[in-house]
Amino acid sequence: MENLENSADCKETVSPLNNSGSVMNSTEPHCDGKAMGFVLVHAGAGYHSESKAKEYKHVCKRACQKAVDRLRAGGLALEAVTAALIELEDSPFTNAGTGSNLNLSGEIECDASIMDGKSLNYGAVGALSGIKNPVLVARRLLSEAQKGKLSAGRIPPCFLVGRGAEQWAISHGIPVCLTDKMTTKFSLSAYKRNKRKMELAEQVETKRRRQSSGRGNDFGCLECVTDIMVEGEENNSACLDTVGAVVVDREGNVAAAVSSGGLAMKHPGRVGQAAHYGCGCWAENGRDVSLYSTAASTSGSGEHLIRTILARECSTAMQAENAHQALLEAMQNKFISSPFLAGEDCVLGGVIVLRCCTCGEAQNSEDIKALMVEFLWSHTTESMCVGYMSAQDSKARLAYLDFLLEQWQDSRWQSKVEFVDLERGANEVV
């Protein structure tokens, strides 16, 4: 195995960026029944409490195992990525499905989307309440769309929101789940704490306006209240947003999915990047042997990711010869320094990507299916938890990324690449 670590000058970097990746190669008989495929998952780019680091790692491992189980059973990429997302949504420690952030009204509204690289079909739900696994509704929307037009020539929906999405899910056999069942002690206590802080902030703002109009710029206790607003945020989940996965199966098909409970205390009806086309996830099989099949799943500040269409931008960048450099440049030019985010003080986001292609010597062979798979991840946030596993591995591997912002004040890139043989399984990064 060969390791490579690089640092290069970065100009006008608004936020720090951490990037890692691996290259996996495999040549196997096409019809020997041997399992083949790969999954890469993330539990969000944001802030992960150190006290819950073990839980984040465990859920990433379980999600990888669920996806690989489907691949080993002969399932395609779309089935495997759905299995991974269900596991991530069911964890009370992730901000997706069970345990999602509560909105201003104390309700859970989830966003999710999924894309199939083979058919290029896409399904998504936004501000969805009452469904335990939003990714199942997104997947069902995708599947129904593949069946063709509805009665009277109507075009089937690919993106539904709110009450309409819930009604559609129920009519297609997906069971309801009340908010109380999806709310955890942690998410409820966070909601109550945040609500008290908002009420306090509104009181201070009211006092500030009165004092400003009556006695110039005397803001009273505004500064000390600001300190209270950020105190004790060690277990804050507001910045931990979105889970996702990307998968490639033995046929070289790719799929991607993403799911999120959204920002804490968001306005009811708000839809984040997890549901938006090209923003939360992207998957596209190569149309010919000269192109890579690519898949991406994002996380972070939804509004930032929507305005930059980051999933598609990163996926498109993967057609470059040097995937590692291409991802660095995409994150810098299309996200951190994007003109669409001009004026933003802190650009927060993360992405996992993979690309694969049929190796040259096997492209014309009927008997050999040789795939090269490269996977990478990048984030500008404090931390990001990533897990990955091939169908040849006995267990999933993890990359738990955590760094302090002051370490990046010299405006330098830090990056790492690992080269791994798929037949021997992946080697642990961290």
The residues annotated with a catalytic role in the active site are 242
Return the closest-CA partner of residue 16 out of 415, 383, 400, 379. Answer: 379
- Cα–Cα distance between 341 and 346 in angstroms, integer? 9
385 C-beta neighbours (distance < 10 Å), count: 27
3-state SS, residue 243: strand
Token pair, residue 74, equals: 């002969």
**CA-based Rg of the chain, rounded to a whole angstrom?**
22
DSSP alpha helices (H): ranges in 172-221?
Answer: 179-182, 185-215
Phi, psi of 56 (to 5 degrees): -60, -40
Question: Is 420 within 8 Å of 390 (Cβ atoms)?
Answer: no
- Cα–Cα distance between 18 and 347 in angstroms, integer? 13
Instruction: For residue 27, list its beta bridge partners.
Output: 370
- Cα–Cα distance between 263 and 301 in angstroms, integer? 8
3-state SS, residue 194: helix
Instruction: For residue 390, list its beta bridge partners.
Output: 38
Extended strands (E) in 368-426: 368-379, 383-390, 397-402, 414-421
3-state SS, residue 32: coil
Token pair, residue 342, equals: 């001009």
User: Longest Cα pair distance anywhere in the chain, in angstroms?
Assistant: 84
